[in-house]
Structures are given as structure tokens and as C-alpha cells.
Amino acid sequence: MLGILGQNLINLSEILGEFFQLLRVTFFGLITPPFRVRDVLRQIFFVANGSALIVVFCVCFAAMVTILESSFHMKLVIQNDSMVPGFAAMLILKELGAVVTALLLTSRVGAGMTAEVGIMQITEQVDALKMLGIEPIKYLVVPRLIAGVFAGVVLTIIANMTCIFCAMLVSKAYLGFTEGLFLTAMTRFVHFSDLIESVVKGFCFGAVIPLVSCYFGFRCKAGAEGVGSATTNSVVITSISIIVIDFLLSYMFS
């Protein structure tokens, strides 16, 4: 038992050491030339443009569920749903928009990054980059990190605005709140600092997704099973990291 525990601790220390090494090389690569602008733009198009429609579609339904469930439970407990617009807007800005967006990016973009880097690893394309004098982490991770951060912030803002707009429509259609009443009730709960908190979360989530995804891609084992295992581990660990970071940031801002 102690031997297994000790081996697990050794493995964990090795994993953390490798991950911090990736962090060090990545952040150093952000400030040193060459700056691969074309690769960055291509990754931004893949991450942001390719995910925008999915994010908007999903957060619309999340906003509708938030309004309807909030109204139902408030009527059940206090027999009044006048606080629903403010409560829903606060929940959307502080949690729903950023977290739902990040989890959707994890399943779509993170898995793709892990599979792409993993296939390059097992087909020795990463070794070929080294032989050509190209740092693989700078070549592969840095453009994806920049794209992830940019997309995390922009898509979080889009998701928040879409969520609030959809919540306003649902409130008007099912609860009888006009646009003016909704906005008035929202301003009693929501402040500009809530939007800043949401943007900070989007920034952090957007950085975590490519870092963790590329890390597991570099650790990918040979074969289809290795790629599948690396992709699964990447999505699970990234999702857990997003939830933990969300808790820590919420605690700090509160």
C-alpha cells in the first residue's frame, strides 16, 4: 500500500514538473521572436469562429432554463418572482456565461488540440521539428495559447450578452416582464465588477484549455488507444481545472 502511494506521488511530481516546464517554455516563447502571426490567426479562426455558433446556441437554452427554474422556485418559496431578472442576470454574468463557454471549448477545441499534437508526437513530427531547430512548444503551444485566451474572453462576452438577451425575451414571453422592467431589475443586482469578473474567468479558462490539452498531446502514447486515452484525460483534467479555478476566482472576487 505504501509502495503504491509512494509511486503515485513520484508520478504526480513528475507530471507537475513536466507541466511547469511546459509553462516556462511557453511563457518565454510569448515574448521572444519569431512571432508566428499567421499560425496565431489560423488558431484564432479555428477556436473562436468555429465555436461561436455552438456557444450561442447552447447558452440560449441555458438562459431559458435559468429563467424558468428561477421563476418556479421563487414562486414556490416566496410566492413572488419579481427578483427573477436580477437574479438570473447575476447568475449569467458571474457563472453561467464563462463556465458554459469554457466547458464547450474544452469538449470541442481542447480535444482537437490534444489529438492533433498527440498524432504529431507519435508520428515523430515533433522530433522532426527539433531536428530542424524549431522549439516544438513555441511552435505548437504558443499560437494555441494566444488563440485560447482571445477566444475565451471574446466568446465569454458574446455568451453573456446572448444569455441576457435571451433571458429578457423569455421573461417577456412567459413572465410578463417588459424590456424596461427587466433592465431595471437587472441593474439592482448586477454591477460592472461582475462583468470584469466574467472576463477574468474567460481569460483564465482560455489559457488553461490549450495548456492542458497540448501537455497531454505531448505525453500521448502510440496507437489509436493512446490518442483516445490522451484526449479523454485532457478533457477530464481541463474540466476539473475549470471548475476549481472558477471556485477560486469566485471566492477571491466575493
Q: Which of 35-49, 69-83, 89-103, 136-150 has the lowest mean pLDDT?
A: 69-83
Band (pLDDT 50/70/90 cuts) for residue 207 is very high
Q: In the prediction, which pLDDT does 6 show?
A: 55
Full-model pTM = 0.86
Where b means 16+ CB within 10 Å and e means fewer, 192-217 reads eebbebbbbbbbbbbbbbbbbbbbbb
Q: In the prediction, which pLDDT does 3 show?
A: 58
Give percent of the chain with pLDDT exceeding 70: 93
Which residue's entry shows cell 440560449? 60
pLDDT tens profile 158-195: 998 888 888 888 888 777 777 777 788 778 778 888 88
Q: What SS3 state is found at 177?
A: coil
State the cell numbers at 138: 513555441
Mean pLDDT of the chain: 83
Alpha-carbon span 102 to 155, nearest angstrom: 9
**The pLDDT of residue 4 is above 70:** no
- Comparing C-alpha atoms, which of 35, 160, 152 is closest to residue 104? 152
DSSP readout, 210-230? HHHHHHHHHTPPSSHHHHHHH
Mean per-residue pLDDT, 209-234: 88
Give percent of the chain with pLDDT exceeding 90: 21
Alpha-carbon span 119 to 216, nearest angstrom: 11
pLDDT tens profile 9-38: 566 667 777 777 877 888 887 787 777 888
Band (pLDDT 50/70/90 cuts) for residue 40 is confident
